[in-house]
Amino acid sequence: MKKLEGKSAIVSGSGRGIGRALALKLAAEGASVVINDIDEAPALDTLREIQGRGGTATVCIGDVTANDFAQRFVDTSIDVFGGLDIIVNNAGYTRDSVIQKMTDDKWQAILDVHITAPFKILRAASEFIRARAKEESANNAEVYRKVVNISSISGLYGNAGQVNYGAAKSAMIGLTRSLAKEWGRYNVNVNCVAFGLIETRLTTALSAENEKTTNIGDTEIKVGIQADRLELIKFLTPLGRAGTAGEAADAVYLFCAPESNFVSGQVLVAGGGLLI
């Protein structure tokens, strides 16, 4: 039997990158997965990939920062799959700048996507989790649920040019540890994975002559890391390289599996040994 057979999961930002790799991993282990992306096309690509491998999934398209998104995301899992067992707050991006050039919009946008949106998703899930946990307790059924929040080594140690991102990812750790204490009574394990350098479309190499952008809703943002800085980060990483999206997803999966039923309030660094 697959380890997550009968479980249902919601993974924000799972149309691409780490989120997509995790959605595929959870589905391969038997979970029914709600795929989310701000754009329809990548979400549907992930859906087709899961279904093509014999897995079960559906989609919930939308911007995680939209006012109506959190409840719609949670309800999709409950309505389609009959429950909610795993919540992964993965969606995000960066808008880097030194503090004197950091606009209010850049600051707020990153806090909105990296900490306010996860808070709203978890708040939306609270009514179902509390009610279902009470039912299970009354029936002497021991069921564990999982929350995995995504942070970064920038949230642990800071990073020049990322006061907004570092602040949001640090807040994610505080949210994780506080909620672990609130939801322990409901048999919910709440943990956090902090990533180092992971290969995604947001961390590709660029140069002054090769500037890359992507659109987040109506906003065009710069993506990528200067090639010389990218090589420096790899050099400083004891394993000598960036992690793959699949390896990042594997780290998150550790907190989704039943082997983590007595692990809560923890931060796992998936960074190849990079701790600065």
Domains and CATH numbers, the chain: 8-270 (3.40.50.720)
Instruction: Supply the pTM of this predicted model.
Output: 0.94
Q: What is the model's pLDDT at position 270?
A: 97
89 close to 121: Cβ distance less than 8 angstroms: yes
Tokens of 241: 């390289």
Residue linked to tokens 């990073």: 159
Tens digits of residue pLDDT in 185-221:
999 999 999 999 998 887 776 655 556 667 777 777 6
DSSP state of 247: H
Query: Which positions are annotated as active-site residues?
Result: 165
Tens digits of residue pLDDT in 63-100:
999 999 999 999 999 999 999 999 999 999 999 999 99
Q: What is the model's pLDDT at position 206?
A: 63
Rounded Cα distance between 48 and 217, Å, is 23
**Which runs of consecutive H residues, i.e. helices, occur in 92-244?**
104-111, 117-138, 153-157, 163-183, 227-236
Tokens of 93: 């991006």
**How many percent of the chain have pLDDT more than 70?**
95
**Weakly modelled stretches of the chain, pLDDT under 50:** none
